[in-house]
Chains A and B, each alone.
Chain A
Amino acid sequence: MPSEIIVVSGLPRSGTSLMMQMLDRGGVPVVTDVIREADVDNPRGYYEFERVKKIKDDAAWIPEARGKAVKMVSQLLYDLPSSENYLVIFMERDLDEVLLSQEKMLERLNRSSAPRDQIKPAFVRHLNQLRVWLAAQRHIALLDVRYNDLVAHPEQQAARVSAFLGGRADVQAMAAAVDPALYRNRKPSGEQSV
Chain B
Amino acid sequence: MVKVKIEPGLYDRARRAAAAAGYSSLDEFIADCIEKGIQRQKIEEQEGPVSDQLRGLGYIE
Interface residues of A (CB under 8 A from B): 12, 36, 53-54, 56, 59-60, 62-63, 73, 75-76, 78-79, 81-84, 102, 105-106, 109, 111-114, 118-119, 122-123, 125-126, 129, 133
A62 near B21: Cβ-Cβ < 8 Å: yes
Q: Contacts A75-B51, A112-B56; is A59 near B21 (CB within 8 Å)?
A: yes
29 A-B residue pairings within 8 Å (CB atoms):
A12-B54, A12-B59, A36-B58, A53-B61, A56-B36, A60-B17, A62-B22, A63-B22, A73-B54, A73-B60, A75-B43, A75-B60, A78-B39, A79-B36, A81-B22, A83-B21, A83-B22, A83-B24, A84-B22, A102-B53, A105-B57, A106-B57, A109-B58, A113-B53, A118-B49, A123-B53, A126-B50, A129-B46, A133-B39
Contact count A vs B, C-beta below 8 Å: 82
Contact A113 B56 (CB under 8 A): yes
CB of B47 within 8 A of CB of A122, answer yes
Q: Which of A78, A84, A105 contacts B40 (CB 8 A)?
A: A78
Main secondary structure of the interface of A (DSSP, over half): helix
Nearest CB in chain B: distance from A167 CB, A: 26
Q: How far is the CA of A112 from the CA of B27 in the complex (A)?
A: 43
B18 to chain A, nearest CB (A): 8
Question: A133 to B21, alpha carbons, bound, how many Å?
Answer: 22
Residue of B nearest to A11 (CB): B54
B41 → A minimal CB distance (Å): 11
Other A-B contacts than A78-B43, A119-B49, 15 sampled, CB-CB below 8 A, are: A12-B59, A63-B22, A75-B47, A75-B54, A76-B60, A78-B36, A81-B23, A105-B57, A106-B57, A113-B53, A114-B52, A114-B53, A119-B50, A123-B50, A129-B46
